[in-house]
Amino acid sequence: MVYSGLTVTPGSWSTVTSLFSHSHPLFLSAIAQASEPAEPDSSFVLAAVMLSLVVVYLASKVGGELSNRLGFPPVLGELVGGVLVGVSALHLLVFPDTGVDGSSSLIMQILLSTDGLSPEAVNPTFKATGEVISVLSDLGVIILLFEIGLESNLNELMKVGIQAILVAVVGVTVPFVAGTAGAMLIFGVPAIPAIFAGAALTATSIGITSKVLSELNQLTSKEGQIILGAAIADDIIGIVILAVVASLAKTGRVDVGNAIYLIVSSVLFIVGTLLLGKLVNTVFIALSERLKTRGALVVPAMIFALILSYIGAAVHLEAILGAFAAGLLLDETKEREELEELIKPVADLVVPIFFVSVGARTDIGVLNPAISANREGLVIAIFLITVAIVGKVVTGLAVFGQPGINRLAIGVGMIPRGEVGLVFAGVGTASGIISDALNAAIIMMVILTTFLAPPLLRFTFPEPQSEPVQDEGTPAQT
């Protein structure tokens, strides 16, 4: 997930230089010129990106197939595949923002030994490659949310709007209050770091949840629509909370004006896109009927999705909210089914980059109790994980007037924190106000909730019963 205007790279060169750039510009300029070239060679970057994509597709396909054969959602296999090729294991797909350098990347080592990459060019090539893969990953989640919007039903989503908002409010309030209070009272964590920990518990990864629901054919179910609507509302609330706690960490006080701006812009963005729905559909249909070349339907749809994504990011919301809104609006057109089929090959190419990258960035080393520095974090993590799971599962109780609805599935669908939780942890780490133990605990919470949610969702939604097959000419039993 990408928050507009926010880049979190704890431990990276850019973080170090940003601390001194205003006071020592000449010193930094000399260091930069002496240590690495200004521009990496584009041919090496292209080669590294190609090899990285080979790793991504192999990890996603092998992991997805194995997960599917074991009865789990394929997205879980993609996440696990990412972990295996990432910073936790093989180091085939690693990123500068995880605190590693180019020498630890096996792809850089391959280029050193086979393609003539010079040792001094390793780090700039590594950094540029990581930026390209990160952009492709962000594009992947944008396409995913556009596809999810196409598969959703705007009318059905609006019917459960109040229910979804209630689920989101409960899913933010309960873990935030319990997490903050527990960190302060049980573990003696100071107020601002405790608020950061509580805020990290409020997140929900809409990308992971929506993908699992789609794979389980539950996206258009009543439960699926409530989860989706609640995750969107939760995302918007999370943006506001992130802005508040970030300003609190930086200045010691809350920037009320910025929080109000985010709330108002969120409402205006969503209401505005919905009001423009009919006009957009009319223009889109007329345009697609006039175009006669290849891509007459999918290219205008992508243009519309990317424009709304840009607007969402420009008003300091999220690009994925714009992509989802675009899919919802085009869902009302008569070409929806054809557009769904056309967008699937695009999604098959870019969406796995997102899920594998999330896994590749996950450092499961923080779960190792043999390392003494991890032990304090493990104790705090057990508490945070408990609050993270229970605080979201209880959201199903907020649903009313829906007899027979699967409240447990709704609660479980809100559990994964994914990349959203990592952004909160990254902001806290960059600010320097949270301890290593608390940071490790938050990362553990993010890892486990992200990986537990797909199989739990699989078990909370019962398998649809198939109708008995009758031979032709055999009368049905009455």
Task: Give the Cα separation of 436 and 452 in Å (integer).
Answer: 24
Same domain, 239 and 388: yes
Same domain, 228 and 377: yes
Q: pLDDT band at residue 62, thresholds of 50, 70 and 90?
A: very high
- Summarised one tens digit per residue, pLDDT across range 307-365 is 988 988 887 777 877 888 888 888 766 777 788 888 989 999 998 998 888 888 877 77
6 lies in some domain:
no
Angle at 235 between CA 242 and CA 361, to 5 degrees: 75
Structure tokens at 7: 């880049």
36 lies in some domain:
yes
Task: Give the Cα separation of 13 and 240 in Å (integer).
Answer: 28
2 lies in some domain:
no
Same domain, 63 and 195: no
Same domain, 334 and 445: yes
Q: pLDDT band at residue 133, thresholds of 50, 70 and 90?
A: very high
* DSSP string of 166-184, one letter each residue: HHHHHHHHHHHHHHHHHHH
Task: Identify the CATH number of the domain in which residue 440 sits.
Answer: 1.20.1530.20
Task: Give the Cα separation of 97 and 101 in Å (integer).
Answer: 9
Last residue of a domain, one of 73, 98, 133: 133
Three-state DSSP class for residue 476? coil
92 Cβ contact list (under 8 Å, min separation 6): 52, 55, 85, 86, 105, 106, 107
5 lies in some domain:
no
47 lies in some domain:
yes
392 lies in some domain:
yes
Task: Give the Cα separation of 346 and 305 in Å (integer).
Answer: 13
Q: What is the pTM of this model?
A: 0.71
At residue 51, the pLDDT reads: 94
H or E stretch including 189?
none
Nearest partner of 67 among 363, 452, 459, 455, judged by Cα: 455
Task: Give the Cα separation of 67 and 267 in Å (integer).
Answer: 39
- Ranges 70-74, 126-130, 321-325, 418-422: which has the least confidence: 418-422
Residue 24 confidence (pLDDT) above 70: no
Higher pLDDT, 24 or 70: 70
Q: How many domains does the chain contain in total?
A: 2
H or E stretch including 104?
none
- Taking each helix axis from N to C end, the angle separating 191-200 and 222-251, rounded to the nearest 10 degrees, works out to 160
Residue 217 confidence (pLDDT) above 80: yes
Residue 34 confidence (pLDDT) above 60: no
461 in Cβ contact with 216 (< 8 Å): yes
For residues 174, 177, 179 and 181, what is the CA-based torsion angle, rounded to 10 degrees? -150
Same domain, 313 and 426: yes
Same domain, 34 and 177: no
Residue 476 confidence (pLDDT) above 80: no
Residue 441 confidence (pLDDT) above 70: yes
8 lies in some domain:
no
Last residue of a domain, one of 117, 133, 149: 133
* pLDDT, mean of residues 23-38: 41
Same domain, 437 and 454: yes
Same domain, 199 and 92: no
442 in Cβ contact with 425 (< 8 Å): yes
Q: pLDDT band at residue 422, thresholds of 50, 70 and 90?
A: low
385 lies in some domain:
yes
Q: By residue range, what is the domain housing residue 165?
A: 138-459
